[in-house]
A and B are shown apart, each in its own frame.
Chain A
Amino acid sequence: MTEQVPRWASETFWKKTAIWVTGGSFVLLVFLTFDSMKQISAGGPRVPAFSVINKDISYRFDKTKQRYQPVIGDEAPLFGKVLTEAEAEMLVDHGKKTVQAKNCMNCHTLLGNGAYYAPDLTKAWMDQGWGAKASREQMMVDFLLDPEKNARTYGSNRKMPNLDITQPEAEAIVAFLKWMSSIDTNGFPHNFRAIGEEDK
């Protein structure tokens, strides 16, 4: 390197550039974070309130947007009981804590994030594997309580272990999964046919 370093290659030029670029990017990120928080709060435009578990939730292709998105339907209370917003939040919260304490994310993915040893849970609530909407809730609870006996391995021999999940925890997990399936995930997963949507 010669003694006469052009300005664009000098240490001070890049030092200042580094500071301005980092500062600018971070300020923009903070601004976008405020906006994103507003939009993804429960009850906001993209993430429904917890009491959505009182409704029927499905997933359909939107021709205008050219992607799939959740569809909130008629009354369909979970376990036959209509909950207030506070009760629903408490139930979903219990479900979320159980999902964390049982370390589900190191086998499954949630919203596509986690491990890849077991199926994605984003739309697990509306998976066709549950057969019919009427028997779904009970099947999910039974499966969580005794996953070995009620194994759903699809020929893979990969069984979920028994995680000592209690009845209230199992119901709470189902509530959490139902609520999570209502989140607008920008069309992920694509081409997913929800239970009850087979002929549509």
Chain B
Amino acid sequence: MTLQAYQEKAAVCWAGCKQNYGVLMANPFLSGGQKLAVHYFTVAMVLFMAQLLFGLLAGLQFIFPSFLYEILDFNVNRMVHINAMVVWMLYGFIGSVYWFLEEESGVEIVGLKWGQLAFWVLTGAVTVVVLVYLLIQIGAGNDTSLWLINEGREYIEAPRWADIGIVVVMLTFFYNVAATFAKGKWSGIAGVLTLDLVALAGLYLAGMFYVTNISIDQYWWWWVIHLWVEATWEVLVGCIMAWSLMKLLGVRRQVVQTWLYIEVALMFGSGILGLGHHYFWIGTPEYWFTIGGFFSALEPIPLVAMVVHSIYDAGAHRFKNSNHPALAWVIAHAFGNFLGAGVWGFMHTLPQINLYTHGTQWSASHGHLAFFGAYATINIAFFYLAMQQARGNVWMGGDLANGWRWKTAAVLLNLGVLGMTVALLIAGYEQSFIERAVEGSTWAGYFSAQNHPWFMQAMVWRMVFGLMTAVGGGLLFWDLLTIGKGETRSAAVITNDAVTQEIA
């Protein structure tokens, strides 16, 4: 193809994007906040695809180490893989909150224009950061590199300039949430959400400075990673889930909010000091063995409570709802969160086993199922809720046109991630025994574990299930773009009263 042909194709593509964007902005079924939410959801899905792509590349390098050697090395692919994940989760959460903010507060969003500006600033910044990751990759060992290229700290690699941008954007988001509730009406969900966002934004600051001492570095680094993922994110998702359950199943507010408070008490009660399970081996004092071991062992309790809660609600409301894809993903969330974050986390959280599993594929196994089960699922559920509304609140239950798509995507994604998790767990067992227990973690020990047929087979199986996940992801994207098109039946209104009457 000539350059001119490429330019023409690009022009057509751009015109298509502009037209679709015009359609979104003119959508009569969406409020201002909901349109902004769709912006966030769209970028979230693009980043989800990027996460899948770079995960596949990194996974392939375990099997074919020469693949993309010195072009896109493992550290680049892995960094983009995990960063895309963190950012798409955040985009999903922010979008979900913007989605229900107006309905929950009863007023229009106070600073919608600022929210829109923040979206474009954040998206521009994310694009620049990713391009720098891919094209520049690394720098010299000085402050300039840490400020402009890469901070080199897992999960929060974004250079310092981007950190500052992220904080500004988060403050704008926080202002919109707090000020909108203040102008409208507060609720239990609103209160928990607002306080949680203060903690979430504040904790990010703990990852924004450089120290020479790696023990101190990792001490604060875990404040961001753990207290986000195993505390504030869980509570944020609890708020989103609470609102979704009222919407999807017509659960009573009082029930939902009481559960939310129970979850906050259990989640923060176990999660804040559960931070100690990251302080076993980084130079920190021995008392973290007891504190970290004990409190992190309690961390699954709120997740069990969530499952009990969900089963109760689903039973009490007889699954009566008109958005089957969203409900399916909420169910996937309840079980995925419990299994991935709860069971898989508990399995290696005590120091007596963690001495051998720390820094092995055990963590990768836990990470895959936990992030997917706890966070990807609830975001996807919300994307389906959004698409339903965007199509004019149409029926999305049984007999849905092209209903095979969402079902196949859900099966492929859930099986794919579960398969990867099990494959990585087998690799983790093997590594813990051979590298850690038998060979004492020398470099020779590391490689004898990596070269072992059990490890290599696990990596091949991970790849097979990774491909399954990627196909499921692609199908999900396609389905989200088309689901409900041409549907004329309107969705049934689910309220607690309607459900009660039916049961009576």
Contacts and interface: CB of A to CB of B under 8 A. Distances in A.
Contacts of A93: 212
Given A18-B261, A107-B75, A114 B443 contact: no
Interface stretch (B23-31, B266-274, B331-339, B472-480): B266-274
Select the residue from B139, B151, B219, B282 with max chain A CB neighbours within 10 A: B282
Contacts, number: 259
Interface in B413-463: 431, 436-437, 439-444, 446-448, 450-451
Contact of A112 (B138, B264, B359, B361): B359
Given A103-B76, A172-B141, A1 B255 contact: yes
A4 interface: no
A162 B70 contact: yes
B33 to A, nearest CB: 26
Contacts of A191: 436-437, 439-441
Interface in A164-180: 164, 166, 169, 172, 180
A102 B141 contact: yes
B355 interface: yes
A156 B451 contact: yes
Interface string B73-96: 111101100000000000000000
B442 A192 contact: yes
Contacts of A190: 355-356, 436-437, 440-441
Contacts of B142: 97, 101
B282 A116 contact: no
B258 interface: yes
Q: Is the interface of B mostly helix, strand, loop or mixed?
A: helix
A192 B74 contact: no
Nearest to B81: A106
B149 A154 contact: no
Contacts of B441: 120, 123, 189-192
A26 B272 contact: yes
Given A95-B141, A100-B152, A15 B261 contact: yes
A92 interface: yes
A95 B431 CA distance: 29
A112 B279 CA distance: 11
A82 interface: no
B440 A193 contact: yes
Interface string A79-114: 000000000010011111111111111110111111
A115 B75 contact: yes
Contacts of B219: 33, 36-37, 40
Contacts of B5: none
A17 B283 contact: no
A9 B268 CA distance: 19
A123 B357 CA distance: 17
Given A113-B282, A190-B440, A10 B141 contact: no
A74 interface: no
A115 B78 contact: yes
B143 to A, nearest CB: 7
Given A107-B74, A155-B447, A164 B269 contact: no
A154 B355 contact: no
Contacts of B442: 127-129, 192-193
A39 B284 contact: yes
Contacts of A47: 213, 215, 283
Interface size range of chain B in the complex: 35 or more
Given A117-B61, A119-B446, A154-B451, A39 B285 contact: yes
B207 to A, nearest CB: 13
B218 A113 contact: yes
A107 to B, nearest CB: 5
Contacts of A152: 443
Interface string A3-40: 00000011100110110011001101100110111011
B106 interface: no
A124 B443 contact: yes
A154 B75 contact: no
A184 B443 contact: no
B281 A18 contact: no
Given A22-B272, A25-B269, A169-B140, 6 more contacts: A10-B258, A22-B269, A29-B275, A100-B153, A113-B282, A128-B442
16 contacts: A11-B254, A17-B261, A22-B268, A33-B219, A37-B216, A102-B152, A103-B75, A103-B137, A106-B78, A116-B364, A124-B443, A129-B444, A156-B65, A159-B69, A164-B138, A166-B140
